[in-house]
Structure 1
């Protein structure tokens, strides 16, 4: 096993433990990158000003350069540093904190979740994007279209995507941009969330393309990560029968899932200038694989970390990152996942009939379910 394969391995956590035992920041000669595996080092890397989210020589992946997906990607706050990161974040993050959880629950409750693996997949992947689309002011019919386009767009974020998928991602980026332009033109009908973002965005950045790109980014971040959170919660219920028979509060269950078996296993940082982190000298151009899932299982971060405890006291997690690039939509993702999981459990009570494998990914841990009869 290596740290990349680990993300979709059946049980990567003993491997992560071995990495932590070797030291917090070690070099993998096979992958030609540094590995940050302990909580202390992961926090240090995420906080360091010289550790950036994109390499200086490649701000946009070469695989999508020249297309519409690249134009969107290049303006995403999560893929930038400095003002290009702070300005859109200062407009979007405060408004996300104003969303009423009851509205999220109502939007999830209004969606029909079908029983069986197919219904489960739709609820995990399409449902959360539809909820965010509704919060931004799209109609239910438009939301379904937006969720499908988001599914196509996220292909541009994966190095594993085929040329055909990347072509589809460019087309999806174009269509999503058009839908948002039309939505923004209907100022009298804007949702409170969108109106608030627009008001704050005008004060920080007058460039409409940046606003639209980051609204698309809000959808794309919701798509895989929330699906993985919901899916890994179901895996926990399947693998721990005691949880099924004495189900803890869903919010507590999800809080432990995002620590114990997170949907985002790792992220990367690129060294922009020579620096020293936890006693290790790093050079400009070095790449660090930040193993968030390993840090969550560090005994220095959580007591008895390899035990699933829904009622865990003083739970600490780095799943949503930390520092300047900490995910601004954490609370919203947890709200959507909680409401969706409650609805799923109403229509999919026989979880033992499900099997799963993990979607191909270099950093995500997102289960894909299927009925055992179809295995």
Structure 2
């Protein structure tokens, strides 16, 4: 076990507890990086001005730097600091906060869900992106195309992707860009109109971050939905309880994003530890969520947990701006899946290959 493999391990949480016992911020010699595992160290890293989201010498991964996926990647607010992060965020975050959740629920409910493995996969991965695309102003056919292209584009975000997947990601980025150019020319959606009014950058940066909104929805929301279904499978007594309360605890207890990384721009002290310029810090968000210093009785799954605290949607200047939207889509989708009679007892699963995500892929056990 190591802190990266842990993300897709059957149960990484006892291992995370061992890491916390060693100290909040500790150097891992095999991985050649620092590991922040406690709530205090995670908070310190996420808040530190010298901890950046990309290394200065490689703002875009070399594997994608020469294609359209790399161009999009380089403009994403989540992959930048400073003004390149603040400008798109100041336009997108307020608009996402004002999304009508009743409209979100209606759009989720309007989608066809079938009680088989393919239907479950589409509900988890394709459905949420379709909802976001529809909110931005795409028609149903276009929204389905956006969700399919987003599935190809997200390959550029993973170091595990092969050459064929990266080539498909470049193609998808080109096509997504074309869809958004046409959409921006029409601009009928209230959500998109609000973003455009607040946005002060160039159109290419806006397009890149609209693609980024879809790509973040794709994996993180799928993991949230899938891990909620696993919680219900493990604890049948939770069925019939508030799905919103269930999702609120799932995102803390078993988050879809287990870790993130920060790159130290210049030598500095973090949580009492001297860290040199060029160092990499693996930030274990999921471990911090289970720190007793953050949540009382953190190993218990409590729907009515008082003063729930979580790093699952990040923290500081890079905290996810779409948390309310993601939780609304996920909770409604879980409700629809249950209403369509999916038999949770027959679910089998493995976790999608990832260095930081905990996203179950389901199949059904044969009778």
Q: TM-score range by the shorter chain?
A: over 0.9
**1:370 is matched with which residue: 359, 363, 366?**
363
Picking from 204, 213, 224, the partner of 1:209 is: 204
8 Å Cα contact 2:68-2:171 kept in structure 1: yes
Q: Secondary structure at the match of 2:366?
A: helix
Partner of 1:352: 345
Number of the residue aligned with 1:147: 147
Q: Aligned match of 2:310 in 311, 317, 327?
A: 317
Q: Distance in 1 between matches of 2:174 and 2:335?
A: 35
Secondary structure at 1:236's aligned position in 2?
helix
Tell me the equivalent position of 1:56: 56
Matched residue of 1:357: which SS? strand
Give me the TM-score of the superposition, normalised by structure 2.
0.99
Q: Aligned partners of 2:361 and 2:212: how far apart in 1? A: 23
Give, in angstroms, the shift of residue 349 of structure 1. 4.0
Unaligned runs of 5+ in 2: none
Partner of 2:191: 193
1:227-266 correspondence runs (5 A): 227-244=222-239, 247-266=240-259
Of the three residues 275, 278, 284, the one matched with 1:282 is: 275
What is the root-mean-square deviation of aligned Cα atoms in Å?
0.8
8 Å CA contact retained: 1:116, 1:348: no
* Cα distance in 2, alignment partners of residues 24 and 52 from structure 1: 19
Q: Hey, what's the Cα distance between the residues in 1 that align with 2:56 and 2:341?
A: 47
Give every structure 1 segment of 4 or more consecutive aligned residues whose post-TM-superposition deviation is greater than 6 Å.
Answer: none
**TM-aligned CA deviation for residue 242 of structure 1:** 2.0
Number of positions where the alignment pairs a residue of Structure 1 with one of Structure 2: 367
Consecutive unaligned residues in structure 1, runs of 5 or more: none
Output the TM-score relative to the length of structure 1: 0.97
Are the counterparts in 2 of residues 55 and 272 from structure 1 also a CA contact under 8 Å?
A: yes
Q: In structure 1, how many angstroms separate the alpha carbons of the residues matched to 2:241 and 2:211?
A: 34
For the residues of structure 2 that align with 1:327 and 1:9, how far apart are their CA atoms?
25
Quote the Cα distance in structure 1 between the aligned partners of 2:264 and 2:192: 35
- What per-residue deviation string (whole Å, max 9, x for no partner) do you get for residues 138-179 of structure 1? 000100000000000000000000100000000000000000
Q: Deviations over 1:311-342 (max 9, x none)?
A: 11111101001100000000000000011111
The answer to whether the 8 A contact 2:116-2:342 is kept is no
